[in-house]
């Protein structure tokens, strides 16, 4: 995981998943935001990524890329499966108040801005954003540019769909 910047008190990290088999071991242990970037060609990487994020107590997920909605659905489905498993094992009702909040963003820039500025949980102190790049073309340069813009007061456009700018 590489620290690529800060926005207010939040540290922004970047990890490229495709060429880094150790990425899952560097994730925070609690109370962090996962900003996932996945496109159609990355779909096979989404389910294991979702499971690792939930195993590491992610507090908030913001999914971007052309697979944003599907990625958020994977998070929601995995949360529901874990809740069902808990209820079957313990015979107790699962408390959904302690599950991560999930969002998806078809406007990449707005999704990143939301994860860095607005994503919060009133019961947790979230100061770490991890950008999990599942794409082949990478978005690290674009994320660094957005960090600089946000720190200078920039706000994202109101466009419904705005794609990422890829490194290659």
CB-based contacts of 126: which residues, under 8 Å, 6+ apart?
10, 31, 32, 33, 59, 60, 119, 120
Span of 12-16, 22-26, 62-66 with lowest mean pLDDT: 22-26
Chain centroid to Cα 139, Å, comes to 14
How many CB atoms within 10 Å of residue 127? 14
What pLDDT is attached to residue 123?
Answer: 76
The band of 101, judged by pLDDT with boundaries at 50, 70 and 90, is: very high
The reported pTM is 0.94
pLDDT tens for residues 113-137?
A: 999 998 877 777 899 999 999 999 9
């Amino acid at each position: 995981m590489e620290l690529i910047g800060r926005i207010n008190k939040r540290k922004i990290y970047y990890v490229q998943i495709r060429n880094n088999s150790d990425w899952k071991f560097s994730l925070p242990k609690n109370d962090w935001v996962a900003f996932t970037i996945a496109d159609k060609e990355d779909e096979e990487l989404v389910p294991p990524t979702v499971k690792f994020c939930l195993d590491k107590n992610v507090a908030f997920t913001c999914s971007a890329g052309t697979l944003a909605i599907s990625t958020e659905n994977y998070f929601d489905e995995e949360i529901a499966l874990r809740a069902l498993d808990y209820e079957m094992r313990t015979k107790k009702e699962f408390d959904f108040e302690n599950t991560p909040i999930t969002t998806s963003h078809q406007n990449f820039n707005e999704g990143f801005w939301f994860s860095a500025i607005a994503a919060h949980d009133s019961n947790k102190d979230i100061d770490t954003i991890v950008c999990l790049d599942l794409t082949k073309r990478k978005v690290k340069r674009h994320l660094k540019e957005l960090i600089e813009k946000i720190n200078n007061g920039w706000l994202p456009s109101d466009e419904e769909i705005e794609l990422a700018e890829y490194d290659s």
